[in-house]
Amino acid sequence: MGEITRCIAVDDEAPALRVLEQYASARPDLLLEAKFRNPLEARDWLRTHPTEILFLDIRMPQETGMEMLQQLEKKPAVIFTTAFADYAADAFDLAAVDYLRKPFSFERFCIAVDKAKDFLLVASGRHAVQEEQDVLMIKTGNGVMKIRFSEIHYIEAYQEYIKIFTDGGRFVTYERMKNMETMLPAARFMRVHRSYIVALARVKTLHGYVAEVEGVSIPVSRDMKEKLMNAVFRKGNS
C-alpha cells in the first residue's frame, strides 16, 4: 500500500458526512481525520492540524465553502461537494481539484481523490518519480506501452495472453495473470476470479457472484466475493 493521505470533510448535513466517511473508509490509502458540520470550527481546526485533502460543501448556513476556502492560509487540495451545478465555474476559479455533484458514486469519488493525489504530488515535487510508479508497463506488438492505473477498468486472461480494458480502449499483452497481479497496487486492484482482475474504483454493483465494471459483467469467485464487498462497499449499510 502507498502513502496514507490525510483528509477532512466539511458539510452541514450529517447524511452527506456519513457518505464521505463510508467512501473514505473503503480507500486504504485515505485517512479521514475529522468531519465538521460547521465550517468555522473546521477552519479553526485546520490552523493547528494541516490536512492534505479537503472535502468541502458549498452552501452552509455559517459561511459558504468558498468563503471558508478564501480564509485558509495554507490551502489543501480541495474537492467541492454540492447538490448544485451553478457553482462549478466559481469553484475552479478558486483552484479546486474537482467538483462532485451530489449524490455521487464511489467510483466518481475515487476519480476525484486520484486527481487530488496527483495534484499533491506535483505540488510536492515528487511527481516525476511517482509518475513512473503510477503506470503499468506492458509489452505489445508495437513495443512497450505505459497505461496509467487510473485508466484501467479490468483485466481478462485469455489463453496465453491477457487483455487490458481501459478508458482508451483494449490492449493485449503476453503475460501470466499471476505476474500481472504483482504489478498492480493491491489498494486499487483485486483479482476476483481466476481470469479477471478489476479496478476497485470501477466496480459499480455486485449482485450474487457478478460484479458490474463499466457496464461489463465480471464473474466473482466464491472465496473473493466477501473480500470484494469489503473493499468496495464497506459499511454501505451503516
Kindly tell me the burial class for residue 230, based on how many C-beta atoms sit within 10 Å of its own C-beta (0-12, 13-18, 19 or more): exposed
Residue 234 pLDDT > 70: no
CA dist., res. 26 & res. 231, Å (int): 6
- Give 157-194 pLDDT, tens digit per residue: 987 789 999 998 999 988 889 888 888 888 889 999 99
What kind of architecture, by CATH, is found in domain 5-128? Answer: 3-Layer(aba) Sandwich (3.40)
Query: What mean pLDDT is predicted for residues 56-84?
Result: 90
Share of the chain above pLDDT 70, in %: 86
Q: If you ran DSSP here, which 8-state letter would residue 27 be given?
A: -
For residue 15 the three cell numbers come to 447524511
Q: Output the pLDDT for position 88.
A: 63
Least Cα distance to 206 among 180, 236, 185 occurs for 236
Query: What mean pLDDT is predicted for residues 58-77?
Result: 90
Query: What mean pLDDT is predicted for residues 140-152?
Result: 81
What kind of architecture, by CATH, is found in domain 134-232? Answer: Beta Barrel (2.40)
Cβ atoms of residues 164 and 69 within 8 Å:
no
134 — phi, psi (to 5°)? Answer: -100, 15
Query: What mean pLDDT is predicted for residues 58-65?
Result: 92
Q: Output the pLDDT for position 198.
A: 97
Q: Output the pLDDT for position 129.
A: 44
Q: Output the pLDDT for position 156.
A: 97
Q: How far is CA 141 from the centre of its chain?
A: 31
Residue 117 pLDDT > 90: no
Cβ atoms of residues 91 and 79 within 8 Å:
no
| 3-state secondary structure (DSSP) of residue 146 | strand
Mean pLDDT over the full length of the chain:
86
18 — phi, psi (to 5°)? Answer: -65, -40
Cβ atoms of residues 185 and 146 within 8 Å:
no
DSSP of 170-234, one letter per residue? EEEE---HHHHHHTS-TTTEEEEETTEEEEGGGEEEEETTEEEETTEEEE--HHHHHHHHHHHST
Q: Where are the domains of the chain?
A: 5-128, 134-232
pTM, to two decimals: 0.54
CA distances from 19 to 15, 22, 85, 114, 236 (A): 6, 5, 19, 18, 9
Q: Which of 16-20, 40-44, 201-205 has the lowest mean pLDDT?
A: 201-205
Q: Which of 109-118, 126-135, 216-225 has the lowest mean pLDDT?
A: 126-135
- Give 82-112 pLDDT, tens digit per residue: 887 766 656 656 667 888 999 999 989 998 8
Q: How far is CA 65 from the centre of its chain?
A: 22
